[in-house]
């Protein structure tokens, strides 16, 4: 019953989206430029609503990312248009990072399985954006992180090796008993 309902909602959303996009091929709209910038956030919202209605976390992933990209583009053309150059990129990256955070938030609230992984790229992207936007010590820190990030791989590798050896030692203890 639940699967049939999810398929019905998914089918209706696909038909509606297809009709709107098909009509857009033949009908020209004279919309203000700012309205055109809302197309991508609207697609993000569509995927988020679709994912919420069907309780499908997989649909919330493109919803969050498209929302972040769309609102980032809107922000640098609209409310944050006064900032130019690198600051524009910083604002955009902050919104993109927030979009990834939205994936975690919506899956935590509306599904049985929370997508915590989205916080990793979201945090990194937002940190880079904040560093670009505010510069100074944060930009210096970002430069050092960019040079020293392989240390994380080294530490992860050591941890994996230690856990593998610990597992072998425990196996030997079990077989001796």
Is residue 173 included in any domain, yes or no? no
Give backbone dihedrals phi and psi of 55, rounded to 5 degrees, phi first.
55, 40
Question: How much is the mean pLDDT over the chain?
Answer: 85
Is residue 69 included in any domain, yes or no? yes
Is residue 175 included in any domain, yes or no? no
Q: In this predicted structure, which of 81-90, 118-127, 128-137, 145-154 has the lowest mean pLDDT?
A: 81-90
Is residue 164 included in any domain, yes or no? no
pLDDT of 119 strictly over 90: yes
Q: Is 148 exposed, middle or buried (0-12, 13-18, 19+ CB in 10 A)?
A: exposed
pTM (two decimals): 0.71
Q: Give the total number of structural domains in the chain.
A: 1
Is residue 129 included in any domain, yes or no? yes
Counting residues of the chain whose pLDDT is more than 70, the rounded percentage is 85
CB environment 117-128: b (16+ within 10 A), e (fewer): ebbeebeebbbb
Nearest to 68 by CA among 98, 88, 27, 34: 98
DSSP one-letter code for 83: -
> pLDDT higher for 142 or 27?
142
**How far is Cα 75 from Cα 131, in angstroms, rounded to an integer?**
18
Residues 6+ apart with CB under 8 A from 42: 70
* Residue whose tokens read 């990194």: 124
Give backbone dihedrals phi and psi of 30, rounded to 5 degrees, phi first.
-95, 80
> pLDDT higher for 23 or 177?
23
pLDDT of 116 strictly over 90: yes
Instruction: State the residue range of the domain holding 70.
Output: 2-134
What's the alpha-carbon Rg for the chain, to the nearest Å? 23
Q: How confident is the model at residue 17 (pLDDT cuts 50, 70, 90)?
A: confident
Is residue 140 included in any domain, yes or no? no
Nearest to 68 by CA among 103, 17, 23: 103
Q: What is the DSSP string of 104-123?
A: HHHHHHHSSS--GGGHHHHH
Is residue 26 included in any domain, yes or no? yes
């Amino acid at each position: 019953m639940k699967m049939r309902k999810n398929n019905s909602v998914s089918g209706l959303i696909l038909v509606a989206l297809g009709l709107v996009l098909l009509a857009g091929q033949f009908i020209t709209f004279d919309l203000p430029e700012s309205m055109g910038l809302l197309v991508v956030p609207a697609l993000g919202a569509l995927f988020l609503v679709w994912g919420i209605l069907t309780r499908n976390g997989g649909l919330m992933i493109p919803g969050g990312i498209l929302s972040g990209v769309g609102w980032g583009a809107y922000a640098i053309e609209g409310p944050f248009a006064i900032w130019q150059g690198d600051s524009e990129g910083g604002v955009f990256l902050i919104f993109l990072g927030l979009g990834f955070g939205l994936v975690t938030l919506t899956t935590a609230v509306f599904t049985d399985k929370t997508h915590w992984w989205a916080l990793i790229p979201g945090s990194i992207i937002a940190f880079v954006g904040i560093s670009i936007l505010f510069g100074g010590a944060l930009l210096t820190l970002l430069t050092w992180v960019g040079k020293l990030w392989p240390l994380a791989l080294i530490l992860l590798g050591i941890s994996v090796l230690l856990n593998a050896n610990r597992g072998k030692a425990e196996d030997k203890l079990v077989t001796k008993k």
